[in-house]
Structure 1
Amino acid sequence: MSTSSTSPQRSRGDGDSRPRFFDAKTKALCWAKADTVPGRHPERWRKDAAGNIVCKRFFNCIGCLCYEHDHIIPFSKGGESTADNCQILQSRVNRFKSDKYHVDSEQLKDYSCEVNFTDKELDIIEMAVYGDVLRPGNQCRCRTVAEKLGKFKSKDDTDACKLP
């Protein structure tokens, strides 16, 4: 296994070194294998291993839509930094899970934020974070505030729709 020069190394104690953190390719694969959120753009929104909705832009922060990449088998217990051993977890869940091993999705749910966002709230958050709201399937996009005020004309010729 090749390691990147940007990935910190830790010794196993047997003279072998392994990367402690997931590289960019592994993180992308980890995001891609997470469950999608129905009605939400899959590049922007996913569900973590406990079923919590997380936003791709909210990486490594603390909050109910924030997430981190987690070693399913903890690094401290011999887990590798590979896509097979990676899952996205809401930051709060990842902190509570810590270095525990054999934690199932029901136990992870117990660590989750108790906030359930409505579709409209997620639309408002997506608008604030990305500047638009993309809805797969109906191929429309929501107008930005600048468009609504007549200060900007979008170059995107996809029809604009209204927030729910």
Structure 2
Amino acid sequence: MTSSPHRSGGEGDANADKRPRFFDTKTKNICWAKADTVAGRHPERWRKDAAGNIVCKRFFNCLGCLCYEYDHIIPYSKGGESTADNCQILQSRVNRLKSNKDQIDSDKLRGYSCDINFTEKELDIIEMAVYGDVIRPGNQCRCRTIDEMLGKYKAKDNTNACKLP
């Protein structure tokens, strides 16, 4: 038995499934890029899944409300390929409940979603904790780090600090 992520059967198994089971890095990057952006949030850090849930790029493969997984739109078990056009990001909870179902519309997926709706300020605090700063697209200011707010660090960057909402 191999330890390949493709999980193919043994060489003697004529019925072994040779299709890759998992999405490769390039496919994941394309999948992330095609997901909807979140208004006012940095697109490399935040996206909306197929059900409209906000997810954070750093929270991959965990189980919280901002966590996500890469999902086969047509389930792998039903012949779906591990390709960019068969990939979507889904909040982990939604993906687990979707399981191997296909042809589920976004309203049905939304019914599986976590019930927490984060405020802008809460998302700022989460982004600050995860990335150490908050970046707003198109805005040339930067948000102060926690150490700056506590007076433990003086920024060398002369760019004005944004005000959190």
State how 1:34-53 maps to structure 2 within 5 Å.
34-53=35-54
After TM superposition, the structure 1 stretch with the greater mean CA deviation from structure 2, 16-25 or 96-105, is 16-25
Q: CA RMSD in A?
A: 1.8
Change in 2 beyond 3 A, CA 1:77/1:144:
same
Q: Compute the TM-score of the two structures, normalised by the length of structure 1.
A: 0.91
Unaligned runs of 5+ in 1: none
Inter-partner Cα distance in structure 2 for 1:67 and 1:36: 14
Unaligned runs of 5+ in 2: none
Q: Helix, strand or coil for the counterpart of 2:19?
A: strand
Inter-partner Cα distance in structure 2 for 1:16 and 1:98: 20
Question: 1:86-133: CA deviations, max 9, x gaps?
Answer: 000000000000000101101100000111100000000000000000
Which amino acid in structure 2 is aligned with residue 45 of structure 1?
A: W
**Aligned residue for 1:10?**
8
Identity %: 77
**Aligned residue for 1:118?**
119
Inter-partner Cα distance in structure 2 for 1:156 and 1:84: 41
Change in 2 beyond 3 A, CA 1:8/1:154:
farther
Q: Helix, strand or coil for the counterpart of 2:8?
A: strand
Inter-partner Cα distance in structure 1 for 2:137 and 2:55: 17
Give the length in aligned residue pairs: 160
Inter-partner Cα distance in structure 2 for 1:62 and 1:26: 22
Inter-partner Cα distance in structure 2 for 1:93 and 1:104: 12
Q: Give the Å deviation of 1:73.
A: 0.3
Asked whether the 8 Å contact 2:6–2:18 carries over to 1, the reply is no
Q: Give the Å deviation of 1:159.
A: 2.2
Question: Which has a greater percent of strand?
Answer: 1
Q: Compute the TM-score of the two structures, normalised by the length of structure 2.
A: 0.90
Rg larger for? 2
**Aligned residue for 1:132?**
133
State how 1:88-103 maps to structure 2 within 5 Å.
88-103=89-104
Q: Helix, strand or coil for the counterpart of 1:17?
A: coil
After TM superposition, the structure 1 stretch with the greater mean CA deviation from structure 2, 94-103 or 14-23, is 14-23
Which amino acid in structure 1 is aligned with residue 5 of structure 2?
A: S
Inter-partner Cα distance in structure 1 for 2:19 and 2:26: 16
Q: Give the Å deviation of 1:153.
A: 3.0
Question: 1:30-62: CA deviations, max 9, x gaps?
Answer: 000000000000000000000000000000000
Inter-partner Cα distance in structure 1 for 2:111 and 2:159: 41
